[in-house]
Amino acid sequence: MHLEILVEDISGKKMLEHLVPKIIGDRHTFNIHSFRGIGKLPKDLKPKTDATKKILLDQLPRQLAAYGKTFRGYGSDYPAAVVVVCDLDDRCLKKFVSELRNIGGRINPCPTTEFCIAIEEGEAWLLGDIPAVKKAYPKAKDGSLSGSQRNLSEFEEKVIHV
């Protein structure tokens, strides 16, 4: 299987460059593409910014449409999928999931797409460097940070299939 992974920022890309090979092994291929922020989903599926701005959600309908056309020719012997990784931030999970699912129903052909929504800041949580996290986020609660010492196998992100 081939994965095209879209992530909202360069730090997410750096993290995934180390994690993805450990997760998927040598049998699969992948590319990771970072964007310059998450932005907002365009209501009419038409991006509000030009493609060079590289804002993840703004460009997502265009990206999925392009991958849908590209992957159509891959065949069943080597399937491909798009994985979109982004933080929940201050969004309502239920509403955000609904908006993301709505995109897939409006693009034809839509590639197989998985949305991985990080409920907590993924990079800080994985690093487990409490003093560094406190320096970057002075208002972070100590109780929340103590969980950052959990091992990687316990790190779970909410996955929503479109």
Count, in order, helices (H) and strands (E) of the chain.
Answer: 6, 5
Distance separating alpha carbons of residues 115 and 6, to the nearest angstrom: 10
Q: What is the mean pLDDT of the chain?
A: 80
**What is the tens place of the pLDDT at every residue in 49-70?**
888 889 999 999 999 999 999 9
* Domain assignment of residue 137, yes or no: no
* Domain assignment of residue 123, yes or no: yes
Per the structure, the count of domains in the chain is 1
Contact yes or no for 62/47 (Cβ under 8 A): yes
Q: What per-residue confidence (pLDDT) applies to 34?
A: 95
pTM of structure:
0.76
Contact yes or no for 145/130 (Cβ under 8 A): yes
Structural domain boundaries enclosing 76: 2-128+157-161
Q: How confident is the model at residue 44 (pLDDT cuts 50, 70, 90)?
A: confident
**What is the tens place of the pLDDT at every residue in 103-156?**
888 899 999 999 988 876 555 555 566 676 677 667 777 766 665 444 333 433
Count how many Cα atoms sit within 13 Å of the Cα of residue 143 in the half-sphere of its side chain: 0
